[in-house]
Amino acid sequence: MTISWKNGILYVKIITESSVAHMKSDIPFPTIERLCTIYHLLEELYENGIRSLSSKEIGAYIGAGAHTVRKDINYLGEIGKGRAGYDVALLKNHLMNHLGLTGHKKACIVGLGRLGAAILEYARLALSGFDMVAGFDRNINKLETIKTAITLYPAHEITTIVRRNGIELAVLAVPAQAAQEAAHRLIDGGIKGIVNFSPALLQTEAGVVIRNIDLINEFRIVTVLSGLSIDTQ
Amino acid sequence: MTISWKNGILYVKIITESSVAHMKSDIPFPTIERLCTIYHLLEELYENGIRSLSSKEIGAYIGAGAHTVRKDINYLGEIGKGRAGYDVALLKNHLMNHLGLTGHKKACIVGLGRLGAAILEYARLALSGFDMVAGFDRNINKLETIKTAITLYPAHEITTIVRRNGIELAVLAVPAQAAQEAAHRLIDGGIKGIVNFSPALLQTEAGVVIRNIDLINEFRIVTVLSGLSIDTQ
DNA sequence: CGATGTGAAAGGTTTCACAGCT
DNA sequence: AGCTGTGAAACCTTTCACATCG
């Protein structure tokens, strides 16, 4: 709760859970991306024993101005009054709570080729609150070959397993031609978000968040951007 | 060609490739990202025998409005007059030329763990004009284990090899703690862009484009975004 | 003083509306 | 008619400037 006195009027601002949740819809998309990066940064710095951090320092780490960082953080409401920058632990929890990053979320992976298998072994996921609970592949032989603690299923069971286990997130690491069908199965199972490593341009459905990651597209963007910086020198 | 007379000096302005490239600096960043996606789409549809496409159709594929698509395409100058949508081949070449996606670019990969090895085998890269010409790893034993047509080197040779071969792009697939040193070596070698698959937040240098790809960060963004759509219902 | 918090201005991007072409 | 091309308006995001606090 914040109390302030301005122009002869007493302002009492009460931030409740629901008003915070509603406010979130007012957060600009770039701000959400930056806040997630800041959250990541705070985790890292806290592990390294850093307990206080200014907006200027945060900006330097994530490649943004101090203004932007303060504005971003303030979309989630007031946190640290005054002096010596932000308390790292406090801000980290603040972001966690307001961004809804508390607790563990269940995730699965579709496509157990080289890339899929690599992601399956990514230990940091569980440490960050994302539990890989299922893997899928069209090729049944692959399910026997791969050694993992996670249960593996044939691709046609995606919908059932996702729904039954309440899996919220999925990684798509199948070849392009299999991507759309797999995405449909995930969506039918009630998945909330898909991180798509295939080069397929998925037809999205309302309510499902899709993030596309395509190395070739990234290379092209880098090429165009670096072409720019050279030409404009 | 424009001719003008100012302060006793005759100005002759010829629009060459390089001055057109200079114009590119006026293209908004989101537009550049979308144009790369559109380029990808056009390649795909052309292969499937589609020869004509309206801005509305393109928009449906990439998740944007027809307005946006037309505006984006027009940043690169006029292409098809009038009626029946865009000629796919024409537009594809138009984008290729104006975005500087002609010819082949040399790329390398740093870090030959599971992820790095998977990317090394990504055949589609060469088809898209990006030639993997070198791989690096700190662990010399790994260099002998991996079977590949590409020459592999120990990590300390990054700077030399990148410079000598004129490698422009790099994929960083090393553990977080090794990422910054590897990035420095790449930058010292004159790399133009880095696609960073490690969770490290790299300190960037002017003139080098860095694109960060971190699955955990993507999961968090998806979580926040899908949390939003529920709370605001 | 040097930090955050925040309304207001500036800047950038998207959307609109319609001209112009086939 | 139906499409692209494009200036102008609307909208969103960043930056600024300064009040405020310790």
What span, in angstroms and rounded, lies between the C-alpha atoms of B36 and A221?
7
In this predicted structure, what is the pLDDT of residue B74? 94
Partner residue opposite B39 with nearest CB, options A115, A171, A220: A220
Q: B145: how many CB neighbours lie within 10 A of its CB?
A: 11
Write the pLDDT tens digit of every residue in A93-106. Answer: 999 999 999 999 99
Residues A32-69 have pLDDT tens digits of: 999 999 999 999 999 999 999 999 999 999 999 999 99
Q: CB A229 to CB B213 under 8 A?
A: no
Residues B174, B198: contact at Cβ < 8 Å? yes
User: Given its phi and psi angles, is residue B77 left (phi above 0), alpha (psi -120 to 50 degrees) or beta?
Assistant: left
Q: What is the pLDDT of residue A222?
A: 96
* Tokens 């994530």 found at: A62
Quote the pLDDT of residue A179. 98
- pTM equals 0.87
Mean pLDDT value across residues A7-20: 34
Which residue of B18, B201, B207 is in closest CB contact with A61?
B201
Q: Please, are residues B76 and B94 in contact by the beta-carbon 8 Å criterion?
A: yes
Residue of B20, B75, B226 to mutate when probing chain A, most A C-beta within 10 A: B226
The pLDDT of residue A13 is 36
Task: Test B222 with A231 for CB contact under 8 angstroms.
Answer: no
Q: Are A150 and A171 in contact (CB under 8 A)?
A: no
Q: Specify the pLDDT at position B47.
A: 94
Nucleotides of chain C touched by protein CB (<7 A): 2-7, 12-17, 20-22
Percent of chain B beyond pLDDT 90? Answer: 75
Nucleotide nearest to A67 (CA to C1'): D15
CA distances from B184 to A2, B92, B179, B191 (A): 46, 35, 9, 10
Q: Which residues 122 to 151 of A reach strand C, CB within 7 A?
A: none
Provide the β-strand partners of residue A172: A110, A196
- If DSSP states are collapsed to H, E and C, what string results for chain A? CEEEEECCEEEEECCCHHHHHHHHCCCCHHHHHHHHHHHHHHHHHHHCCCCEECHHHHHHHHCCCHHHHHHHHHCCCCCCCCCCCEEHHHHHHHHHHHHCCCCCEEEEEECCCHHHHHHHCCCHHHHCCEEEEEEEECCHHHHHHCCCCCCEEEHHHHHHHHHHHCCCEEEECCCHHHHHHHHHHHHHCCCCEEEECCCCCCCCCCCCEEEECCHHHHHHHHHHHHHHHHHCC
Residue B82 pLDDT class (50, 70, 90 cuts): low
Question: Which residue's alpha carbon is at the shortest distance from the C1' of D7?
Answer: B71
**Binning pLDDT at 50, 70 and 90, where does residue B227 land?**
confident
Q: Which residue has the higher pLDDT, A147 or B224?
A: B224
Q: Which nucleotides of D are covered by protein (CB under 7 A)?
A: 1-7, 12-17, 20-22
Residue that is written with structure tokens 């990514």 in the block:
A122
**pLDDT digits over B6-49, tens only?**
332 333 333 333 333 334 458 999 999 999 999 999 999 999 99
Contact between chains at A223 and B193 (C-beta distance less than 8 A): yes
Give the pLDDT confidence score for residue B9 in this predicted structure. 31
Q: How far apart are CA A66 and CA A149, in angstroms?
A: 44
pLDDT tens-digit series, residues A176-199: 999 999 999 999 999 999 999 999
In order of A72, A215, A220, B159, B176, the CA distances from B185 in angstroms are 33, 21, 22, 5, 15
> How many helices, marked H, and strands, marked E, lie in chain B?
11, 10
Averaged pLDDT, B110-136: 95
Residue A205, pLDDT > 70, answer: yes
Mean per-residue pLDDT of chain A: 87
Q: Is the CB of B31 under 7 A from strand C?
A: yes
Count of Cβ atoms closer than 10 Å to residue B13 Cβ? 10
Tokens in use for A227?
């072409």
Contacts of B203 (CB under 8 A, 6+ apart): B180, B183
Specify burial of residue A30 (Cβ count, 10 A radius: 0-12, 13-18, 19+). Answer: exposed
Whether the per-residue pLDDT at A18 is higher than 50: the answer is no
Q: How many CB pairs under 8 A join A and B?
A: 201
CB contact under 8 A, A219 and B122: no
Distance in angstroms (rounded) separating the CA atoms of residues A13 and B21: 51
Per-residue pLDDT of A120-167, as tens digits, reads: 999 999 999 999 999 999 999 888 888 888 999 999 999 999 999 999
Residue B143 has pLDDT above 80, yes or no: yes
Of the two residues A230 and A73, the one the predictor is more confident about is A73
CA distances from A186 to A171, A205, B34, B62, B216 (A): 10, 11, 26, 20, 19
> What was the pLDDT predicted at B7?
31
* Pick from B36, B122, B232: CB nearest A224: B36
Which nucleotide across the nucleic acid strands is nearest to B57, CA versus C1'?
D3
The residue whose CA lies nearest the C1' of nucleotide C12 is: B28
Partners of A61 on chain B (C-beta within 8 Å) are: 201
SS3 B125: helix
